[in-house]
Amino acid sequence: MKKLFYPLIMGMLFLVTSTAFAQSGWPNQWDWPDTDFTKHSGLSSEFSAGGPPKDGIPAIDNPQFKSASHVHYRPKEPVIALEVNGTVKAYPLSVLMWHEIANDVIAGVPVAVTFCPLCNAAIVYERTIDGVKTSFGVSGLLRNSDLVMYDRTTQSWWQQFTGRAIVGAHTGKTLTRLPAKIIPFSHFKARYPNADVLVPNDPKARRYGQNPYVSYDTTGEPFNVHVKMPKGFKRMERIVVVGDTAWRMTKIAKAGRIEENGLRLIWTHGQTSALGARTIGQGRDIGSVRVERQDTNGQWQLVNYDVTFAFVFAAFKPNGKWRG
């Protein structure tokens, strides 16, 4: 009996020790002395070092703006258009490409305007958590090829695409998202000539206007993503996501407008890919999409939606619905 009992106990100890060791192996863990790694909703093996260290890609903390009529962005280059309480601002992807996060305040609301180039995901969140204002930085880590942000109050890690805390004291909490859309700069300027547009704090600090991921959206591959795509969908094709449903962007472009389940998805030409040609604004025209829902007064209102790559939806919404 003893001969059987001893190997059993040793085997159990080995399993526990191995599991604990595996969970302690967070990438770049030495950069995170204040992060509570006892709280997490994922495995350490799901995270990868993206190359730059923590804050190696510097978030914008003191954003500078000029009016749309006094800046010189290319007409077709994409900008994130955000309206809060009647105030409108634009955040060009040619700037966010190099910073990925802009911590700003619009109409008194603290916001984090985020862009993950590897996922083509442009999302805006409020940056108040449990009534406490914080700011966000770039961790240098990826999960399913998506930007992992961190809040500077608790050093918790947040998934950019979902807005959910996945490691640290805030694990399980979700940021409040704000509706925004990606449109060509020319469209924004025509409608809001006096609105603020983000400009680089130091124009010489980065190669603003240039795309460091040339041809990524046509020949690139996501980093450390292992998902099975539904039949007929390619990993790197653009889709439009609302909640748990995704539509193929080329289908919307062909139709011009799709109305389904109280939503309307409208495609407009005139916007280039930020991840194609070396110079942003000079690539191929992929158009832009806006998604709206009719309210009780019959007015169409912008909703939260994403224009992203198909692999992103497959990775983060494994039970999602696909529209061909």
Compute the distance between CA of residue 117 and CA of residue 134 in angstroms, rounded to an integer: 23
- CA pair distance 310, 322, nearest whole angstrom: 10
What string of DSSP letters covers 134-151?
--EEEEEEEETTEEEEEE
Q: Averaged over 211-217, what is the pLDDT?
A: 97
Euclidean distance between CA atoms 18 and 126, whole angstroms: 39
At 17, the pLDDT band (50, 70, 90 cuts) reads very low
Joined tokens for residue 133 = 């204002």
Tell me phi and psi for residue 285, to 5 degrees. Answer: -80, 115
Spatial distance between the Cα atoms of 201 and 214, rounded to a whole number of angstroms = 24
Kindly report which listed range (8-17, 31-40, 56-65, 197-206) carries the lowest average pLDDT score: 8-17
Residues in the chain: 324
Closest among 170, 179, 174, 172 to 160, alpha carbons compared: 174
Residues contacting residue 173 through CB under 8 Å, at least 6 positions apart: 129, 130, 164, 165
List Cβ neighbours of 41 (8 Å cut-off, separation of 6 or more). Answer: 164, 165, 166, 167, 171, 172
Report residue 236 as tokens: 């790197």
Predicted local distance difference test score (pLDDT) of residue 149: 98
Closest CA to 227 of 320, 163, 323, 161: 320
pLDDT band of residue 42 (cuts 50, 70, 90) is confident
Per the DSSP assignment, residues forming a β-bridge with 40 are 167
Binning pLDDT at 50, 70 and 90, where does residue 318 land?
very high
Reduce the DSSP state of residue 19 to 3 states and report it: helix
CA gap 38, 21 in Å, rounded: 13
Predicted local distance difference test score (pLDDT) of residue 199: 98
Q: For 91-148, what is each residue's pLDDT tens digit?
A: 999 999 999 999 999 999 999 999 999 999 999 999 999 999 999 999 999 999 999 9
Query: Mapping DSSP to helix (H, G, I), strand (E, B) and coil, where does residue 16 land?
Result: helix
- The answer to whether the CB of 61 falls within 8 A of the CB of 40 is no
Quick one: which H or E segment has residue 293? strand 288-294
* Most confident option among 7-11, 24-28, 34-38: 34-38
- pLDDT digits over 249-304, tens only? 999 999 999 999 899 999 999 999 999 999 999 999 999 999 999 998 989 999 99
How many Cβ atoms sit within 10 Å of the Cβ of residue 226?
8
Assessment of whether the complete model's pTM goes beyond 0.95: no
Give the separation between CA 2 and CA 117, rounded to whole angstroms: 59
Unique residue bearing structure tokens 């961190």:
150
CB contact at 8 A, 157 and 150 = yes
Domain ranges of the chain: 29-199, 216-323
